[in-house]
Structure 1
Amino acid sequence: MYQRILVPLDGSQFSEAVLPHAEKLALALNVELVLLHVEVTPVPEFDAPIAALAPPKEIKKQRVNIKSYMKNACSRLENKGARATYLLREGPVAETILEAAEAMQADFIAMSTHGHTGVLRLLLGSVAEQVVHRSKIPVMLIRPQGKGNEGRDSG
């Protein structure tokens, strides 16, 4: 049956909204959660090498922080009884998520949406949308609580 669930995280609270759901699935199905963080590579249109974007010390510090964040996320899941590991990758986010899923033979991908709409979505695109449309395996999307509910009646 299922063995592995890939869970992409970008370090934001929005991306972590998927964790309680992934944890429940991992415990119920006795599967391993593989948390993935993708370090974004520079956008070719801006033609800026990564070294020009941040000093090397800052990049190294950021990578140490990301590794610590991922270890902490795994520990929190393991403390609740789930099996969890993490991967750190670099590249275009959606493409790297899909490549990691294939390489590790994930059974499905569980991820949060950021809920961008309008111009922001047009400018940033939707990683979740790209993953859903291009994935060969099932994708479970979780929308963070309160995101996109502005202006709606509660009754």
Structure 2
Amino acid sequence: MERMRATWWIAIAGVLAVAAYAAFAALQILVLNPLAATPGKSLEQIRSEASAVGEPLGGAGVLVFLGVGVLLAVILAVVVIRSRIRPVVTALLFLGLLAFGTPAYFAASFGPGMSLADAFGISGADYSPWSLLLYGISALAVVMAVVLAVVLVLAPRDRVTCSR
């Protein structure tokens, strides 16, 4: 029972972490980066000027793309809970999902970044430093997954798992 409770809590924390990552990525793509890329303009001015030259900033597409990660997290939570997967394996799976946040962020931000570049004659790169937080979380997830995998391989079996 203790093992299932741990799996539940890890799955809930994993879904919340992925959802928070996706929400912050959307904020970065749709608000923070456009404001940083075009200083002195309001978000409404940026959107209006970009749309006027045929370069919409793609709000719905970004949300749908990032929403896929949240949906994957929910599906993963259901699978690990119903399959009675060990807590340590559950943690590894969610860390892997967080690690893939960086490529998902890059893919979701590519269109809006190019729209900013084309509309304002700037680079399509990130201007807001807040993207570093997303990269850092994904990098930390990779490091934690590697450490957890090493512990899982090297530790005696009864020290890593919870008894039924």
- Which has the larger share of strand? 1
TM-score, length-scaled by structure 2: 0.24
TM-score, length-scaled by structure 1: 0.25
- Which has the larger share of helix? 2
Higher relative contact order (CA 8 A, sep 6+): 2
